[in-house]
Chains A and B, each alone.
Chain A
Amino acid sequence: MEDPNDTVQLSQSAATTNGSAQIIKLPLPSASGESSGLDLNLDPDSGQNQQKPTNPSINSATSGAAGGHIRTHTPLWYALYFPQLDELSEARQQKVLNLLAEIAESISSTVSFYPLALICEIRSSLKYFGDINVIHNKLEPLLTTQLQEQQLPEYFLYSASPSITGSLLLARSGHNALIYQKENLRSALSLLPTEVLQLHKEQNRRLYNMGVRYLRDIWRLPSDGLRKRFGSNFINQLNKALGKAPEPTRNYLPPPAFITSYDLPYELENLDRLLPVADELLAQLCDFLRRRDLSTSHLQFSLLHEKRNSTVIDMGLRQASRSREHIMLLLETHFTNLSIPAPVIALKIEIKKFDAFMSHSNSLLSEGKPTAHYNDNNLNKFMEQLRARLGDDHIKSISTAAEHCPEYASQQLNYEESIQSNQSNAPIVKNIRPFWLLPEPLLLNIRRGKLYHRKALTIINGPERIETYWWSGTDVCRDYYVAKEKNGSRLWIYREKQGERNWYLHGFFS
């Protein structure tokens, strides 16, 4: 007997075994009986075999469904339970679930996360796939390969029912059951042991002492008393499982992705001609970002050539942006320095990194003096332009370092590093230091007992003994002096205390 109101065609096996049955066994994976470890002893009167469809209790429960007031749009929740994730850290759990959700997206538009489980709404996709078995067969190999890739045991438990919590409880019990009608939930759930509720130890103990072993034992108890003893969460969970309480979901949102390309009608050698095309693609890109309230901090432009590797421009932004003009300006700057090996036949743009959009705002009270205004828009634009044109190696930020050896007391950092390094400034030395330091100390001449650089030197200050790095092979032991050259410049010179005791020029006080 087919249910007239049920739009979904039931699986063949279900229709033959029991005319009015809405509880159908899904095809069990061959290993699940042993591997899940969650197969629970059912009470003796229902028999050991959970696959037996002529279970008296189920039959009695399903008879009510024949009344036929079934809403066609009742959702059907397909729960996928992964008990093996329990051993992983929370972050890893989430990561694996995300990967699995990506797969589950192929069968359902609504995938939501639950502890160690994914729930997909499949009522809406049943019509397309035709049968829940088809869905299951499609999903299973994908999930197992993904679990294999993550080096996890490749089994999972599943079941489907009209309520989320119900599906979850059924899946946890290892029943792998399919229940189409809400009315049948109660009878199906009643067979489950109380462990599936995953209560606290204390609550479990109390239930056990009360003689409650299965959910059906709970149905028999007055709900007021239960609420008093076990709290409203407990009752809520049961109500949700029966479809009596609303169940909010947290849906999986696939990460945004943006790749677009344009095939040029003819080959282009002049990069300037490419700019209008790029502008058009950027308009799409910015539109995409605006719709999703996102911005980007890493873009990739690829210029495709025939029979050659494409030229790739990696564009990192200091501050995430979605301004078409800004990205266009940077692209133009990149183009000025770019030489292409062959004519361009297509242009591709890809967003590598998405960021939340932060609109620029001025503080109401400008008295508070920020330490450094990295967030300043103009400056960031300028920096990005500089970096695009000169490259990262040519633009440096400097900072002091807590070092005695003069060569190491000043650091050159890339701009990005300098933001991260948080400016741990070393204490300021008392003795005077020069503005310019020579990359390598320069040996000074001595003529007729006088030091010479370009002209004769006179020492006006010193010595300052710097002795360090004795623990390493290269000892530094120097006496530093301030000297004045005859033409007026001031030099920072030193004499080695060991070896040949040579004089060196090390810097200019400018």
Chain B
Amino acid sequence: MTIIRNALETPEPKPDKAFSHIDELLHDNPNLWRGCDMADQGFHGRSTGFSQLDDILPGRGWPNNGLMEVITPQWGMGELQLLIPLMRSIIEQRKWILWISPPYLLYAPALAQASISTDQVLVVKLDTSCKDALWSMEKALQTENCGLVLAWQNWLPGKVLRRLQLAAETGDTLGVLFKHHDSKHSPSPIRLKIKDSQSQQSSFSKAKISVIKARGNFRPLSTHIDLYQYN
């Protein structure tokens, strides 16, 4: 939603390009507060590495800290491909990536191929009890040396999520929760859903990413991305 305080000049005549021009005009106008764009308010995200996704995320990228939910109908939908650029930037910052109870064995050659150094990767194994897994997730989020905490947990109550969110803010760490089902009233600031886009039969590698919720966005948006471009 935009609030216009000053009268605008007359819009451009061409209807097809009108939107982009209006956007530019509005952007230049300092008297205008744009509800959908948090970038001017000091909210800068980290680029996701996918320009289409950057476009629909507030701050043009992932938030610097906090909790993020990635919802996929099953594991292995390309959810890790989505995070490869982020993981690379975390490694470059010489921070650690903690994988908490991943559903399968994390395969080191794939990380090496994605140029993610395995020196800074730690795995908490799947057979760890849920209580311990959550405990380590909270501790990891509170530690500044961990840049990214990936966890595979379905069905976490809102209270736990809020606690994790708080821990992530304390440690300035980004936590990613992978789940199968969306819970509508989840307190996490960002919720993404990855689905295969059935419509485009020809280029079947594209996936549909919907931003169900993102703090700073005023409505759900979605885009189609080729997730396997980094391999």
Contact = CB atoms under 8 A, between A and B. Distances in A.
Contact of A400 (B73, B109, B136): B109
B34 interface: no
B118 A489 contact: no
Contact of A399 (B108, B207, B231): B108
A488 interface: yes
Interface string A365-383: 0000111110010110010
A470 interface: no
A438 B105 contact: yes
A383 to B, nearest CB: 8
Contacts of B9: none
A508 B104 contact: yes
A166 interface: no
Interface stretch (B40-48, B75-83, B180-188): B75-83
A446 interface: no
Contact of B74 (A382, A389, A454): A454
Interface string B109-131: 11111000011111111011000
B231 A432 contact: yes
B52 to A, nearest CB: 17
A385 interface: yes
Contacts of A390: 124, 128, 132, 136
A438 B76 CA distance: 12
A418 B118 CA distance: 10
Interface in A383-438: 385-386, 389-390, 393-401, 409-412, 415, 418, 423, 425-426, 428-429, 432-438
A382 B140 CA distance: 7
A474 interface: no
Interface residues of A, number: 53
B120 A410 contact: no
Nearest to A487: B196
B122 A489 contact: no
B118 A398 contact: yes
Contacts of B140: 382, 386
B15 to A, nearest CB: 36
A371 B145 CA distance: 15
A373 B120 CA distance: 9
A439 interface: yes
Contacts of A378: 143-145
Contact of A435 (B107, B118, B119, B124): B107
Given A390-B124, A433-B107, A487-B74, A400 B139 contact: no
Contacts of A370: 94
A426 B110 CA distance: 12
Contact of B96 (A379, A400, A411): A379
A491 interface: yes
A123 interface: no
A434 B122 contact: no
Interface string A475-510: 000000000100111110000000000000001111
Contact of B109 (A371, A433, A454): A433
Contacts, number: 161
B225 to A, nearest CB: 12
Given A376-B145, A394-B124, A397-B123, A437 B107 contact: yes
B81 A509 contact: yes
Contacts of B121: 397-398
A386 B105 CA distance: 20
Nearest to A381: B143
Contacts of A484: 204-205
A382 B139 contact: yes
B222 to A, nearest CB: 15
A429 B122 contact: no
Contacts of A509: 76, 78, 81, 110, 228, 231
B76 A429 contact: no
Contacts of B139: 382, 385-386
A489 B77 contact: yes
A396 B120 contact: no
A382 B146 contact: yes
A415 B143 CA distance: 18
B103 interface: yes
Nearest to A439: B105
A412 B102 CA distance: 13
Given A382-B143, A454-B74, A490-B76, A510 B81 contact: yes
Given A399-B118, A415-B122, A435 B144 contact: no
A158 B83 CA distance: 75
Contact of B102 (A369, A401, A436): A436
Given A410-B108, A435-B80, A395 B125 contact: yes
B106 A398 contact: yes
Given A382-B139, A436-B103, A510 B78 contact: yes
B145 A488 contact: no
B144 A434 contact: no
A507 B104 CA distance: 8
Contact of A395 (B80, B105, B118, B122): B122
B78 A428 contact: no
Interface string B194-209: 1110000000110100
Given A382-B145, A429-B113, A410 B105 contact: yes
Interface string B130-166: 0010011001100111100000000000000000000
Interface of B: 73-81, 94, 96, 102-113, 118-125, 127-128, 132, 135-136, 139-140, 143-146, 194-196, 204-205, 207, 228, 231
12 contacts: A373-B145, A382-B143, A390-B132, A398-B108, A398-B118, A410-B105, A415-B122, A428-B113, A437-B107, A439-B104, A509-B78, A510-B78
Given A409-B109, A435-B107, 16 more contacts: A378-B143, A378-B145, A395-B122, A397-B118, A401-B108, A410-B105, A428-B112, A429-B113, A432-B113, A436-B102, A437-B106, A439-B105, A484-B204, A487-B74, A488-B195, A508-B104
